[in-house]
Amino acid sequence: MKARILLIAAMLATLSSRTEAKSWIVDYQHSHLGFSGIQERSVFQGSFRNFKVDIDFDPDHPESGKIAATIETGNVTTNDRQRDSMLPQTEWFDAQKFPEAKFTSTKIQKTDAHSYEAKGTLTLKGITKNVTLPFTLTQDGDHWRAQGRAMLVRSDFHIGEGEWASDQTVRLVVTVIVDIAARPQN
């Protein structure tokens, strides 16, 4: 009986150690969080200069992982002075009232050899919606690179209100672009 209990305890310890997520260190200098949109039939790119990502993730057991990101909405750039001055304003991100957007994963699953899906919630401008971020994870030298894209409808989050609320000048569908360089902590 005692041997059986020890065997079960050893099996449980092995199982729990295999499914424990690892903390990752993000290399912000080589990471990018941005978006792509269309204004008057021209594609434009934007990026958030300040963001923080917390990653606890085991590629072999993604179901035990968690990803959380906090993005400063007032530090956005599209390399267009007029657009950049408008995006933090009330009609768009309303950065004074809502200085941060947050993504929190609720489920991560493997979809292929190097492909995953992070399902979770995105809170932007005080509105929380379920989103899915498909991403790939590939080794790049001494670190790993997670790259993904997700389509969002900006009006779901009241981004672009008033004269900007329609699809007429700026398309409602925006692509969120994630490119994170990180390495697991030892």
Distances (CA, A) of 185 to 22, 56, 80, 182: 7, 10, 38, 9
Domains of the chain, with CATH numbers? 21-184 (2.40.128.110)
- pLDDT digits over 91-109, tens only? 999 999 999 999 999 999 9
End-to-end CA distance of the chain: 38
- pLDDT digits over 133-163, tens only? 999 999 988 899 999 999 999 999 999 999 9
Radius of gyration of the chain (CA): 20
Q: Mean of the pLDDT values across residues 7-29?
A: 65
pLDDT number for residue 8: 45
Residue type, 133: L
Which segment of 2-16, 35-49, 125-139 scores lowest on mean pLDDT?
Answer: 2-16
Q: What's the whole-number average pLDDT of the chain?
A: 90
Using the predicted structure, report yes or no on whether residue 74 has a pLDDT greater than 80: yes
pLDDT number for residue 140: 84
Beta bridge partners, 174, equal: 152
pTM of the entire predicted model: 0.85
